Amino acid sequence: MRFNTLRLTAFAVGVISFSASAQPGVGAPSVFFDRDDSTALMTSFPNSQAKFNQFTASLSSFGVDTIDSATGFDPTLVFGATGITAASQGVLAQSAPTFQIGTQALLEADVVGFPQVNTMFTFNQPITAFGIFVIQGGDGANNNPTTFRLRNTVTNAFVDVPVQVGPGWGNNNVFFLGVSDTVPFNQVEIIELTDMADGMLYDNILAGSVPEPGSLALMMLGGTCCLYRPMRFRRGSSLRDR
């Protein structure tokens, strides 16, 4: 019995340690990225859509603002029934045929003559997942390394997610980027190296939450105990047979 107890303790500690080291967002966020170089005028973007589906399948809850109801400069975004909203900065909601997923997209405001500022989304509550479709970045000669900065404005802690945008990407290109972190953040800033030269558009923006890591650890520990129970029964039976 003492041997079995020690073996179970060691096994359980090993499982919990593995769960902790495997948690997404501890030290670095989980990143989901794929792109389509040609979208047939934004009617088909299978790689980006597949990555969006993979990302949303990893979340516990989320909402999407399609931008189709947004109006004017720096509109407030609303993420379905989640209660999450976001103030935007540096964007204009407008119709952009062949460069939008629905009936509108967010166009960088500096492209239409306003002073250049980084695009930013500031949320009304902490989130742990953010996703966005980015259209027409890095086309032609535009070499535009772009950083998505996830910030907690209360602590001012942040983590950067770099994406190499262009050069030489085709017209009507699109990529989807999804990032999740177990450490909450409430602001996403998009920092472009060549902002003025590369007018990007944003569409179908997502905000939500990842499953809590504590729940995953409990599930794995429960599985460990289930594995142990038949082992104990078999050992007891062999002792009785002696």
- Domain ranges (residues) in the chain: 23-214
Return the higher-pLDDT residue of 163 and 40: 163
Q: Please report the pLDDT score of residue 112 as a whole number.
A: 85
Q: Please report the pLDDT score of residue 176 as a whole number.
A: 98
Task: Report the CATH superfamily, name and number, of domain 23-214.
Answer: Galactose-binding lectin (2.60.120.430)
Q: How far from 137 is each of 65, 168, 176, CA to CA, in Å?
A: 20, 10, 12
* pLDDT of 175 higher than 50: yes
Mean pLDDT of 188-198: 88
Mean pLDDT of 186-202: 91
Provide the pLDDT confidence category of residue 187 given band limits of 50, 70 and 90: very high
Is residue 36 within 8 Å of 45, Cβ to Cβ? yes
For the stretch 92-136, pLDDT in tens is: 999 999 999 999 999 999 888 888 899 999 999 999 999 999 999
Q: Please report the pLDDT score of residue 196 as a whole number.
A: 74
* pLDDT of 36 higher than 70: yes
pTM listed for this prediction:
0.78
Closest residue by Cα to residue 199 from 154, 127, 144: 144
Mean pLDDT of 178-203: 93
Amino acid identity at 152: N
For the stretch 206-215, pLDDT in tens is: 999 999 865 5
* pLDDT of 66 higher than 70: yes
* pLDDT of 3 higher than 50: no
Sign of CA dihedral 201, 203, 207, 211: negative
Provide the pLDDT confidence category of residue 7 given band limits of 50, 70 and 90: very low
Return the higher-pLDDT residue of 218 and 75: 75
| Residue tagged 């997923």 (tokens) | 101
| Residue tagged 């005028």 (tokens) | 41
Return the higher-pLDDT residue of 86 and 238: 86
Q: Say how many C-beta atoms besides its own lie within 10 A of residue 81's C-beta.
A: 8
